[in-house]
Amino acid sequence: MNYPNGRKSGTQKLRSQNKAETTFSNRGMTLEEDIELSNDYYRNANIAIVHKKPTPVQIVNVDYPKRSAAVIKEAYFKQASTTDFNGVYRGRYIDFEAKETKSKTSFPLSNIHQHQIDHMYACQLHGGICFIIVKFAVFDEVYLLPASKLFLFWNDQFKGGRKSIPYDYMKAEAELLPFHYQARIDYATALDKLYF
C-alpha cells in the first residue's frame, strides 16, 4: 500500500518481522508471572485458590521527601521465606516453589534451599501436596516435579550423588506443563493426573 505522498506503508516489513518474533520464548513473561496469571484464572473460574506468598521484610530506614513519596532506604529479610505459592485445590492444601534455569542439561539443586525442603516435607507429612515447577528457559519447557521425587535427589547429593536433576529425568518423570491461553501454566491438570 502506498500513501498519497508516495511513501510505502512498511506493513509488509512489519508482518514478516512479527512472524519471526512470534515464539513462546519471546512472550516477555517470567515463570512466576505466568503462574500468577494461571492462579487468577483458577480463582475466577472457581477451580482453585492459590496465592503467591509475600516475602517477609523488616523496614529499617524510610526517607520522606514529601508525604506522598516515601522511599525505603534500608530493609532486611526478617526470615528465610518458605516456598513461592500456596493454596487449596480440590479440598487439598498445595504448596510449591517455581524456578527457572538456563541450563540445557539439568536443574541445579543449589536453586533450592534446605529450609524450603524442610517446609515441603512438613507440609507433605500433614497431607499437603507439594511440588516444584521448573522452567528450562532454553527449551521453553515447564515441568511439575512432585516433592517426593525432589527429596530423592536432595538427600542423595549429601551421599555423594548428583547436585542437579538431569533434564532427561525431568522429561521422563515430571509432568510437562504445556502453555495455554487462559491457564498459561496449567498445573491443575497435572495435579489431577498425579493425585486425583
> Do the beta carbons of residue 185 and residue 24 sit within 8 Å?
no
Per-residue confidence (pLDDT) for residue 27, from 0 to 100 = 43
Enumerate the domain spans of the chain. 26-53+80-195
Domain 26-53+80-195: state its class: alpha beta
97 annotated as belonging to a binding site for a ligand = yes
84 annotated as belonging to a binding site for a ligand = yes
Per-residue confidence (pLDDT) for residue 25, from 0 to 100 = 40
100 annotated as belonging to a binding site for a ligand = no
Where are any strands of DSSP class E within the chain? 48-52, 57-63, 71-77, 85-89, 92-101, 106-108, 129-136, 141-146, 164-166, 175-176
- pLDDT, tens digit (0-9, with 9 covering 90-100), for 17-68: 444 443 444 344 699 999 999 999 999 999 999 999 877 667 778 888 777 7
95 annotated as belonging to a binding site for a ligand = no
* pLDDT > 90: percent of the chain: 68
